Amino acid sequence: ILKGKVAVVTGSTSGIGLAYARAFAGAGANVVLNGMGARADVENERSAIEREFGVKAAYSAADMASPDQIAELIALAESTFGSVDVLVNNAGVQHVAPVEEFPVDKWNAIIGINLSSAFHAIRAAVPRMKKRGWGRIITTASAHSIVASPFKSAYVAAKHGIVGLTKTVALELARSKITCNCISPGYVWTPLVEKQIPNTMVARNMRRDEVISEVLLAAQPTKEFVTVEQVASLALFLCSQDAAQITGANLSVDGGWTAA
Ligand code: NAD
């Protein structure tokens, strides 16, 4: 469904972002990867996408904290592949601390990378989408765009902000055949999550299955992790013609977390 289209996915060197990029490539899109990581690892992922899916994949190390570099990322996609048809704002970082101790630089970094970067990327991509008369903008929000958890003031504020940005852009583009939505995953199984398990087992004197269901999945009623492929499948659906009337939505994939 994306043959001949170009997808830019920020924060796609690992986790959910990489799964989006692979799903879009599997549907025929040329993709632009972005994010941190060792050059050799990134090059492995990039070349694997080209080999497995028979598309072109480019990489940009643009820092999502920098408005100029975000504009360069969108310009690179345009100059390399001729357009930006799908933009996924996915780069994200976290910091956990009580609000009165929350480091100001961490607050600024999280608002910059998790919220403002989406504004800058959308701002740069929309004129190009309008010119071509088609576009899909998707941002990875979070269950924390709907509910809060203590000690995550910046993350929760940024993710709630994404919902407002998404709704506003959707209204502005409603007559332009460009949809703008966000996806709100609950706890997703990524290497980052997996790595927390051994330490938590020791710290809480729990078995692996107890850590998973009572600590990690405490808020997730299904007691199962979301997979990165499940999140990516929803993003791919949002790119289809069947999803043309879904815009301004915040779609949960959270095992019932926000139903509680
Ligand atoms: P991850 O750490 O595997 O991926 C984050 C990506 O963002 C990486 O590619 C990283 O290099 C990139 N990144 C970080 N800072 C960047 C910067 N300054 N410039 C460019 N790239 C940068 O984590 P993930 O779980 O795949 O997270 C992806 C998104 O999903 C984030 O927005 C996160 O908030 C959201 N999310 C994750 C979960 C979960 O349980 N894992 C749940 C809800 C929402």
What ipTM, to 2 d.p.? 0.99
Calculate how far, in angstroms, residue 64's C-alpha sits from the geometric centre of ligand 1.
Answer: 11
Ligand 1 atom closest to residue 19's alpha carbon, by position in its atom list: 26
SS3 53: helix
* pLDDT of the residue at 191: 81
Quick one: 242 exposed, middle or buried, by C-beta within 10 A (0-12, 13-18, 19+)? exposed
If pLDDT is split at 50, 70 and 90, which confidence band does 194 have?
A: confident
Instruction: Determine if ligand 1 sits within 6 Å of the CB of residue 17.
Output: yes
Total residue count of the chain as it appears in this document: 260
DSSP 259: G
Nearest-CA residue for atom 24 of ligand 1: 15
Calculate how far, in angstroms, residue 60's C-alpha sits from the geometric centre of ligand 1.
Answer: 16
Q: Encode pLDDT of 118-159 as tens digits.
A: 999 999 999 999 999 999 999 999 999 999 999 999 999 999
Model confidence pTM above 0.90: yes
SS3 252: strand
How far apart (Å, rounded) are the C-alpha atoms in residues 136 and 128? 12
If pLDDT is split at 50, 70 and 90, which confidence band does 221 have?
A: very high
Q: Please, what's the b/e burial string for 26-39 (b: 16 or more CB within 10 A of its CB; e: otherwise)?
A: bbebbbbbbbebee
pLDDT higher than threshold 80 for residue 192: no
pLDDT higher than threshold 80 for residue 222: yes
Average pLDDT value for residue range 64-69: 98
Q: Encode pLDDT of 85-127 as tens digits.
A: 999 999 999 999 999 999 999 999 999 999 999 999 999 999 9
Average pLDDT value for residue range 14-40: 97
Domains and CATH numbers, the chain: 6-187+227-255 (3.40.50.720), 189-225 (no CATH)
If pLDDT is split at 50, 70 and 90, which confidence band does 66 have?
A: very high
Q: Encode pLDDT of 223-255 as tens digits.
A: 999 999 999 999 999 999 999 999 999 999 999
Q: What percent of the chain has pLDDT above 70?
A: 100
As annotated, the active-site residues are 155
Other CB atoms within 10 A of residue 139 CB: 29
How far apart (Å, rounded) are the C-alpha atoms in residues 111 and 122? 16
Calculate how far, in angstroms, residue 189's C-alpha sits from the geometric centre of ligand 1.
Answer: 12
Instruction: Determine if ligand 1 sits within 6 Å of the CB of residue 185.
Output: yes
